[in-house]
Structure 1
Amino acid sequence: MVSATPLLLMLSWLSALAAAEVCRGTHCDPRPCTGAHCPPGSRSSSSSSRSSVQQAATHASASQHRAYPGSARTAPESLPRARNSGREPAVPPARCTDGDCGGATAAASLLQPGNGTRDCRGIECRLPLRIRAKPRAKPCVGEECVESVESAAGQPAPLPVHLSDRAAQFLGDFPELGYPPPPELGAAPLGVQLTCDIKPGENEVPSEDALILHLQLAKGQEKLVEALRAQQVVIRDLQQKLADQQEALLSQQKEILGQQRRMHEQMEVVKGQYGLLSDTFKQVSFQGLQGELQSYFEGHLAGLQGQPRAHRHKSYTVQEADADSKVLDVMGEAHFPQPLLACPAPCGPEEYCSFQRDPPGCEKCTMCPPGFFLISQCSPTADRMCQDRDECLELPNVCGEQVKCLNTPGGFRCLGLSGREATAGLCGHDYFYNQELQECQACSDCDGEPVSVPCTAVSDAVCAPSSESCLSQSWGASVSVPAARTAATTQIFPGIQLNIQGKDTTDLLRNVGGQVTFLQHGLVWLDHNFAVKHSCRNFLQVGMRLNGSREEGEEEEDDDGGRDLSGVRMEQPEGRYFQGVSVSGGVEVEPNHTLTLRLRSPNQHCNRSKDVHGYDAAAPTFSLLWLSHDTGAVAMTAQMVLSAHYPTGYRPTFRVSSVSDPYMVTLTHDSRGVRFTESGVVKFVLQQALYSMGHTCIRDGYSLVAHVSRNGTGREAARSFKTGVNYRDTSATLSGAVSVEAGDALSFELASPSQCNVRYFGDNTGISMLSLIWIPSALSSALTATVSKTGLPAGAVRNKALLFQQVGADAPQVRLARPGEPHGRRDFVFLERGTANVAVSLKLIHSCNVVKVTLQRAGGPGLQTGPVAQQVSGHMPEGSQWASVGLRASFQVQNGTTVRVSLDCIRGRVNQITHEGGTNISILWVAA
């Protein structure tokens, strides 16, 4: 669209050029001609012309007022200034006489605007004098034109020439404005046409056409706005229709869902009716079959009364041979030792020869399901026969007097019995309420097999397979410090029992009263991750105790044959931060042996309600690895033999406390190591109690190292770090798994700073003890790795997985993920089903309030993904250069199971993690 502003500027410029040609002189009298000398048509012509000009001016003024409301006020104010703004003085024009008034009168009539100034036409009469268009001398066209007008100098003036409407011509050049060009340019006339009786060529005002063009453009814009508004209305209508359609669709979907729900309810009703019909049909069919069998046996027994009494107890069966009801009557095994229709080979125990198969074959004897009783035993030629127990006849008031009882196969149904009433135990003893069938069913008796889950009021018993065929199992539980019930039980000095709370039930053990009772004999490896913040005056000691079996009703005593397996001391941190320790041990157990966890204090200045605050971990804190004797594993425990000399590099001397096979595992000649007769994998733990004095003990700490030696050469198997203390009792512990060959020896060394005075202690509470289990290589493997040098986490560490570097070759059953694989150098992948034990030790520098080390398990069918163990530690002691934290756990693995170690720092940062000594992970795998 062409803008109207440039067009108005161009028209104003043309008007200025015309204003420069205004007539001046004596013959240019602007007043109208009066008198008898005026031409006949001049007066009327002047009046008519004046009226036409006034009408055009009025029309233009009205149009201009509509387009520009402020122009009506500004135009009269500008006219007086235009009269007095001329530079030359006004010269009174000379009046014409006689014939001279012919052309002058007509011209004067045109030059008489409403304000009595110069020539103007239409809207130009409102413009100031200096910018009005001057009339040009152009040739005249028409009969009334005067041939010549003499000027004051006596020279003829040029004739007026007619010019086409420039605005119209401009519109014709631009047809996109929507208006056709004028007729003289070869097109139809404009939509708006001005008529004026002024003769062409005298004075033209292009601004009037521009105003009309502007009005047309304004009208076009109004039409466009109206069209847009109409389109908006149409769009709103479409949106409303779309919303209505969506609501209709939603309502239809709701109706469809309601119909589906009603169909599902009807299907459930039909299913229940079909179940009732099927049960009735089965019962009727079984009763009819029983009647036929009874009549058959009665008939044959009547025919065999004359036979010897020795043959009367034999069973006789009838087998249907074909559709023609051909019956093979088996009179007895003595008469027909090899029947014509028989199995090709004799059947084994709990099997019978089935003639329903073609050819006949051996099948397993049917076991009577719960709720049925035996009517005939399984024979070589017939299956065992069972009869449904009719609880409604045997127990007339089993459902009450007002409720009807309906007998079902293996149970009964009380019509109208709700699930809440069944939960209360209305089904009776040895029965449970089946939610799916909505009836009472008999509990399974497992037929002599161990019961994994006992029968309850709403669930059946779960039978577990015998563990004799199982080589290894694992079990985990949470441990908590019990609350003090009375003021007398708040003291820890005599020792308190920690609560072991396991979730899983197994045929291996029983968890009752916060302790574990073993149900089977075997070897057990125990791990307990304990974290506590205490304000006791002296150290705390946490340990494991195994008590022998005792008769029911007897009270537990200290001299009941029980013994402490292991123990760890926790020094006094003045209650400022958490301390995390791990207690481990291996022992041989028998049925009814009881395991308890104990917490002790050396004096009475420790209140468990005020001074002891345990940490609630997000994973099980207690776990055990059970090994069957079929694995050929050997367990040994040995105590430390303390000497008067305490060197810097202390090598403990052992004294055997117990060993399951002294031929496979023995002490070396100097009693400073353990020697193995055959190759295998050794899981070990060494716990040493000590008392240190000196500030160098705090700065440097202690290192506990395990060595495997062969023919005089040794290699380091594992290493752990312990933060040093000054004038405090504490403990150092080391646990790991290592592969050994025949003749290898395992020894230990505890290194302390040169200027640190250390004294080692031991007693019968297991605080200084060595425990180990040796497993043959055919059923086990071990893997060791250290933290990788690259990718060590630092700064604000939040649940970041650690990267490891494997030491030695891959084990056949477990390996570290390679760099090119998913989660390379982070995950340990198990390649075979079994039981795993993991020991992690971490040495680092940090400023965290709490440091968490978590062992995560992922993958494997039937295994729960998540943390399997977690250990925490608090602030580093003042003056210490390094800190340590570690964990140990046992758990089940499948082919494809992965484990990883993650580190979490709360309110602080991790500065450095050592990749040399003190940071490692050892993994033991045992076949399941």
Structure 2
Amino acid sequence: MTTVAELCRGTQCLGAETGDPRPCAGAHCPGSRSSRPPRQFNPATQGRAAHTVASQHHAHPSSPRAAASDAAHPAAQPPRSRHGGEAAGGSGRRMRAPEVVPAGCTDADCAALVRQPQPANDTRDCRGIECRLPLRIRPRARARSCAGEGCGPEELPPVHLSDRAAQFLGDFPELGYPSSELGGAPLGVQLTCDIKPGENEVPSEDALILNLQLAKGQEKLVEALRAQQVVIRDLQQKLADQQEALLSQQREILDQQRRMYDQMDVVKAQYGLLSDTVKQVSFQGLQGELQSYFESHLAGLQSQARSHLQKPYAVHKMDIDSKVMDVVGEAHFPQPLLGCPSPCGREEFCDFQRDPPQCEKCTMCPPGFFLISQCSPTADRMCQDRDECLEVPTICGERVKCLNTPGGFRCLGVSQREAVMGLCGRDYFYNPELQECQACSDCEGEPVSAPCTALTDSVCGQPSESRLSQSWGASVGVPPARTSGAHIFPGLQLTIRGKERIDLLSNEAGQVTFLQHGLVWLDHNFAIKHSCRNFLQVGMRLNGSQEEEGRDLSGVRIEQPDGKYFQGVSVSSGVEVEPNHSFALLLKSPNQHCNQSKDLHLYDVATPSVSLLWLSHDTGAVAMTAQMSLLTHYQTSYRPTFRVTSVSDPYVISLTHDSRGVRFTESGVVKFVLQQALYSMGHTCVREGFSLIAYTNRNGTGQEAMRAFKTGVNYRDTSITLSGAVSVAGGDTLSFEITSPSQCNIRYFGDSTGISVLSLIWIPSAVSSALTATVSRTGLPSGAVRNKPLSFQQTGADTPQVRLARSGEPNSRKNFIFHEKGTASIALNLKLIHSCNIVKLTLQRAGGQGEQAGPVAQQVSGYMPEGSEWASIGLRASFPVQNGTALYVTLDCIRGRVNQITHEGGTNISILWVTV
């Protein structure tokens, strides 16, 4: 049976003041060991503890309501020991105050109620800061309030504010001090360093003081920062003021500079006026000084002259400081001459060396001279000879001595044949009489009737206004790589350099601009060695006026030979032009590889590489352009189908019913060119090659008019082209066929880029004629061929304007002789077998009747492709001819030999003559 002493706790227990000797036994007596297990986390327990804290917070311990609550719920929280719940002291046990039985509780049920199981978060008797104090100075335990008859009057000791706060915090276990499991110090003492962030602990007095000091320090820091902000704002304001002052100073400086520039302009204008005035005044002043000087000394001179000679002494000229005065006798002395009687015109100067001074035309610097000083009103233009030997030390080669001459140079020991090969270079020609290279004439702005060649100078002449035909030639170059836009992909414009000036066109910025209406036939001989992938394409483009767009006239593809040898191709086109139409040459590549390629070499021939034949509309000529069909595959034989893109007179020229031929209504001469792009597959293509044949059909009978041969390629893009001139009658048709070897697959292309196109110009027979020929069967050069002329055999009918030299005449079967003045256009194709490194085919003019001999056109080719049986080379050109002009063809093989030249299909020459 539980005694009262077991339930009594606090200061009001029995015997507390009377000294009752009865011992106290039970779990709640002092010195008893707590049987509560170590505290562990229990959510249910935490919930109940929170409820208990809330109830204790609302009921003060000293109030009657709280006492009643304590009487109804006598359970107390167990102590939270830091070492497993052991009591204080050396054994680690903590003493509990004796339990007190509530008033009015006398039966066993009440005692059993007191002995109910205590919750895990029971309240401790020791609360507040005194739990941290030693036992000897710890204040006495305060008795809980007692309600009922057994309780005496309540006497509470004075409570300090800190104790009251500690007591209040002790009533809440969640806000109390941590247990030993959570890192608390033993013996109920907790250090400042033991406080962990996140725990709701009450700081000590030192901590409160430190917090106050930190708060004061923060306030001071904030005040210091505010003061610094004020200083910074002041500095910013000062900086802004300084910047404003600097800007104002800069504005003032700019205004001063502007005023200074204005003053300088005024000074310059005043200086110009002053200089003009000084010139006039100085001339007049000098005149006055000279006059006074002569007057002062004239008396002595006259007396001496009378005494010695007794006759008038005439001084005709006296040159003093470039001012001329005439002294003629005593009566007219002195008589100053200020200059020419009238002001000289433009490009004139006053020649004081004449008597009297006269205006003379300014001298033009001759070819081979360069300008030193321009022409002025008082002095002629000054020129100096150009020293070509000094400018180009290797102009004559490494072993040949160069001698400078006025307007040219001389290579000692060089023959005329070597000079024909282009030794003199561009803008120079070889003079056989002086045996030296001389600069070509510029014609001083006049039209050039004949361009400068390797052996002839430029021929200057005024063209007639009623011309029916006219020709023009120029050289072509590749722009330097450093030039902007100098990329072969997607297109590079070649530079056309023409020295000849005619009234039909102007040559500026590397392209030709037409100035008159008419029909134009264009030819371009092009030789290049490259290592670009796939192929290169050279073509012609005509850019229309502002209302029209440009279009591609023609294009020829140059296959890839891996940079092993030169390839010579010719591209031609016929088109109708109008004023302001411009013509340009383009070099294209299908990829960007060629832009970085350094193995791109253009062979610079000694003759004009581009030429044109202009025909007036008064001739009645008609032009037509047609395209081929697209992407067709053929074997052995292919007849192209045409689609007309432009024709100037559809009555004269039209297509046949199957679109495979061209029909002509009236008789005349047809100048044509067919260019077909293709892609071949098969080794037999390389061995046997392709042939392009032109047929004329008259009254149902077809006849081969001309043929061109092209070496085949395997898995490569290339082009085959044929150009010539044939005579046709009314109702005749012109058709074409491309033959290839068996087991050779070919893809033919056709589009609007000009790679597969037919161009032709029909000219009435009244103003034109045509002659065709092939090489003769005998007398063909072979072996080591060096500039040997070719012999020909005429195949077409005779014409009164041009013929082949007959037997018994000089250079029979070699020279083509013209018997009437006009313009000639020649197309030559040659099929041969050779082992030459370089093959040159040159059209030569024989000298006679005021014409100088020399090359007119030239084309170059290289090695024969590996695996091929035949090779081909051809050239095309237009130039003026006179009555008696003779032309012949030479073949030159460098480092190799010519084995055979065929006289059958693939070798031919056609000559078109048009009156002027």
Give TM-score scaled by structure 1 length. Answer: 0.51
Contact 1:492 1:607 (C-alpha < 8 Å) held by counterparts: yes
SS in 2 for 1:698: helix
> Following superposition of structure 1 onto structure 2, how do residues 571-720 of structure 1 map, counting pairs within 5 Å?
571-607=559-595, 610-642=598-630, 644-720=632-708
| Paired position in structure 2 for 1:452 | 446
Q: Deviations over 1:700-759 (max 9, x none)?
A: 100000000022111111100000000000000000000000010000000011110000
The partner residue of 2:495 within 496, 499, 502 is: 499
Contact 1:399 1:405 (C-alpha < 8 Å) held by counterparts: no
| Distance change (3 Å), C-alpha of 1:774 and 1:399 | same
SS in 2 for 1:876: coil
Q: Deviations over 1:587-613 (max 9, x none)?
A: 111112111100000000113760311
Contact 1:392 1:406 (C-alpha < 8 Å) held by counterparts: no
In the aligned structure 2, how far is the partner of 1:620 from the partner of 1:526? 13
In the aligned structure 1, how far is the partner of 2:803 from the partner of 2:509? 40
The partner residue of 1:392 within 343, 349, 360 is: 343
| Distance change (3 Å), C-alpha of 1:568 and 1:411 | closer
Letter in 2 for 1:523: L
Q: Compare 505-514 and 462-471 and name the one that shifted more.
A: 462-471
| Distance change (3 Å), C-alpha of 1:673 and 1:422 | same
Q: Please report the RMSD computed on the Cα atoms of aligned residues, expressed in angstroms.
A: 3.6
SS in 2 for 1:500: strand
Aligned residues: percent identity? Answer: 71
| Paired position in structure 2 for 1:879 | 867
| Paired position in structure 1 for 2:477 | 480
> Following superposition of structure 1 onto structure 2, how do residues 835-850 of structure 1 map, counting pairs within 5 Å?
835-850=823-838
> Following superposition of structure 1 onto structure 2, how do residues 147-546 of structure 1 map, counting pairs within 5 Å?
391-392=342-343, 408=358, 423-427=373-377, 452=446, 467-485=464-482, 489=485, 491-546=487-542
Unaligned runs of 5+ in 1: 1-268, 271-388, 414-418, 436-449, 455-461, 551-558
In the aligned structure 2, how far is the partner of 1:724 from the partner of 1:570? 12
Letter in 2 for 1:884: S
Contact 2:674 2:759 (C-alpha < 8 Å) held by counterparts: yes
In the aligned structure 2, how far is the partner of 1:530 from the partner of 1:432? 44
| Paired position in structure 2 for 1:548 | 544
In the aligned structure 2, how far is the partner of 1:563 from the partner of 1:686? 17
In the aligned structure 1, how far is the partner of 2:381 from the partner of 2:601? 44
- Pairwise CA distance, 1:467: 4.7
In the aligned structure 1, how far is the partner of 2:362 from the partner of 2:473? 39
Letter in 1 for 2:498: G
Q: Deviations over 1:89-147 (max 9, x none)?
A: xxxxxxxxxxxxxxxxxxxxxxxxxxxxxxxxxxxxxxxxxxxxxxxxxxxxxxxxxxx
| Paired position in structure 2 for 1:130 | none
Q: Deviations over 1:34-78 (max 9, x none)?
A: xxxxxxxxxxxxxxxxxxxxxxxxxxxxxxxxxxxxxxxxxxxxx
| Distance change (3 Å), C-alpha of 1:705 and 1:408 | same
| Paired position in structure 2 for 1:326 | none
SS in 2 for 1:392: coil
- Pairwise CA distance, 1:633: 0.7
Give TM-score scaled by structure 2 length. Answer: 0.52
| Distance change (3 Å), C-alpha of 1:390 and 1:512 | farther
Contact 2:677 2:719 (C-alpha < 8 Å) held by counterparts: yes
Contact 1:835 1:890 (C-alpha < 8 Å) held by counterparts: yes
Letter in 1 for 2:869: Q
In the aligned structure 2, how far is the partner of 1:810 from the partner of 1:655? 34
In the aligned structure 2, how far is the partner of 1:501 from the partner of 1:862? 26
SS in 2 for 1:764: coil
| Distance change (3 Å), C-alpha of 1:477 and 1:403 | same
Q: Deviations over 1:359-393 (max 9, x none)?
A: xxxxxxxxxxxxxxxxxxxxxxxxxxxxxx96439
| Distance change (3 Å), C-alpha of 1:499 and 1:394 | closer
The partner residue of 1:779 within 747, 761, 767 is: 767
Letter in 1 for 2:695: H
Letter in 2 for 1:636: M
Structure 1 ranges of 4+ moved more than 3 A: 397-400, 402-413, 419-423, 431-435, 450-454, 462-468, 488-491, 859-864
In the aligned structure 2, how far is the partner of 1:752 from the partner of 1:868? 34
Contact 1:642 1:652 (C-alpha < 8 Å) held by counterparts: no
| Distance change (3 Å), C-alpha of 1:507 and 1:908 | same
Contact 1:391 1:411 (C-alpha < 8 Å) held by counterparts: no
Q: Does 1:868 align with 2:818?
A: no
- Pairwise CA distance, 1:644: 4.0
Letter in 2 for 1:530: F
Letter in 1 for 2:542: L
| Distance change (3 Å), C-alpha of 1:605 and 1:811 | same
In the aligned structure 2, how far is the partner of 1:467 from the partner of 1:421? 33
Aligned residues: 509
Letter in 2 for 1:794: S
In the aligned structure 1, how far is the partner of 2:482 from the partner of 2:707? 42
- Pairwise CA distance, 1:411: 7.2
| Paired position in structure 1 for 2:46 | none
| Distance change (3 Å), C-alpha of 1:707 and 1:409 | same
The partner residue of 1:769 within 757, 762, 783 is: 757
Letter in 2 for 1:671: S
| Distance change (3 Å), C-alpha of 1:690 and 1:420 | closer
In the aligned structure 1, how far is the partner of 2:345 from the partner of 2:854? 51
| Paired position in structure 1 for 2:85 | none
In the aligned structure 2, how far is the partner of 1:702 from the partner of 1:815? 31
- Pairwise CA distance, 1:619: 1.2
Larger Rg: 2
| Paired position in structure 2 for 1:825 | 813
SS in 2 for 1:492: coil
Contact 1:406 1:412 (C-alpha < 8 Å) held by counterparts: no
- Pairwise CA distance, 1:540: 0.1
Letter in 1 for 2:889: V
In the aligned structure 2, how far is the partner of 1:880 from the partner of 1:411? 64
SS in 1 for 2:618: helix
Contact 2:836 2:863 (C-alpha < 8 Å) held by counterparts: yes
SS in 2 for 1:605: helix
- Pairwise CA distance, 1:514: 1.3
| Distance change (3 Å), C-alpha of 1:879 and 1:434 | closer
Q: Does 1:788 align with 2:776?
A: yes
- Pairwise CA distance, 1:646: 2.1
